A and B are shown apart, each in its own frame.
Chain A
Amino acid sequence: GAGVSQSPSNKVTEKGKDVELRCDPISGHTALYWYRQSLGQGLEFLIYFQGNSAPDKSGLPSDRFSAERTGGSVSTLTIQRTQQEDSAVYLCASSPARNYGYTFGSGTRLTVV
């Protein structure tokens, strides 16, 4: 596609429910990143996929968070047993190679009530 696509754009969920956020990167981009953007906290790195290498999960805040990338393309970020502190905008980005500029999606705004 022409850009990075994320869905849904908005998600309201009840505390304790699981949610799945989807990211379609730019075709051919080998690197894919997930970040979380909270008011006053800037962008917090979550996880990074590079080609067929094992993902860098060092930014995931707890074991309730997981992500996968199927076929080197689409990625899904899953949050289990959501908590109110999980409310944020979740951003996905892709790049053609590491150390290259990222192209960001428009994000998924998650609200946990």
Chain B
Amino acid sequence: AQRVTQPEKLLSVFKGAPVELKCNYSYSGSPELFWYVQYSRQRLQLLLRHISRESIKGFTADLNKGETSFHLKKPFAQEEDSAMYYCALSGRDSGYALNFGKGTSLLVTP
């Protein structure tokens, strides 16, 4: 069975501090991993795909197959990063429909 775990419901950091949002997964094959973000009163939107190996808004995420993790990181948090972040997994077992974690609410305070 596949599962996505985001252990922190809420993460609060100061502006300029590094931030890491944790995501762990369980999947027997080769998954595709994603991070989605939902800013206040906006629709859910794609932030990163692991296969793209890109940096968006200063965020990066590395797939660690050994630790089955896909943590989202940013070296210097900004107040506008405050949002709800969802880690998601896609794979053949789910027919490729995304399986989302329960989300982490990031609050960046000045």
Enumerate chain A interface residues (CB-CB to B < 8 A): 33, 35, 40-43, 45, 48, 50, 56, 58-59, 91, 93, 98-99, 101-107
Is A98 a contact partner of B44 (Cβ separation < 8 A)?
A: no
Write out the residue numbers on chain B whose beta carbons fall within 8 Å of the beta carbon of A58.
95
Say yes or no: A101-B102 contact (C-beta < 8 A), given A42-B86, A48-B97: no
* Residue numbers in A under 8 Å from B101 (CB-CB): 42
Binding site for A on B (CB under 8 A): 32, 34, 36, 43-46, 49, 86, 90, 94-103
Please name all residues of chain A whose beta carbon is closer than 8 Å to the beta carbon of B96 when the two chains form the complex. Answer: 48, 50, 98-99
Whether B95 contacts A42 by the Cβ 8 Å rule is no
Q: How far is the CB of B80 from chain A (nearest CB, A)?
A: 20
Report which of A33, A50, A103, A106 forms a contact with B98, defined as CB distance below 8 A: A33
Residues in B whose Cβ lies below 8 Å from that of A40: 102
* Nearest A-chain residue to B91, judged by Cβ: A99
Nearest CB of chain B from residue A3's CB, rounded to whole Å: 8
Q: Tell me the minimal C-beta distance from B63 to chain A in angstroms.
A: 14
In the complex with contacts A101-B34, A101-B49, A45-B97 CB distance below 8 A: yes
- Chain A neighbourhood of B32, CB < 8 A: 99
| Nearest B residue (CB) for A107 | B43
- Residues in A with CB closer than 8 Å to B43 are 104-107
- Given A45-B99, A48-B96: 12 more A-B contacts, CB < 8 Å: A42-B103, A43-B44, A43-B100, A45-B97, A45-B98, A48-B97, A58-B95, A101-B46, A102-B36, A104-B43, A104-B45, A105-B43
Name the A residues within 8 Å of B98 (CB-CB): 33, 45, 102
Contact yes or no, B102 A41, CB < 8 A: yes
Least Cβ distance of B90 to chain A in Å?
6
A41-B102, A42-B100, A45-B98 in contact; A102/B46 too (CB < 8 A)?
A: yes
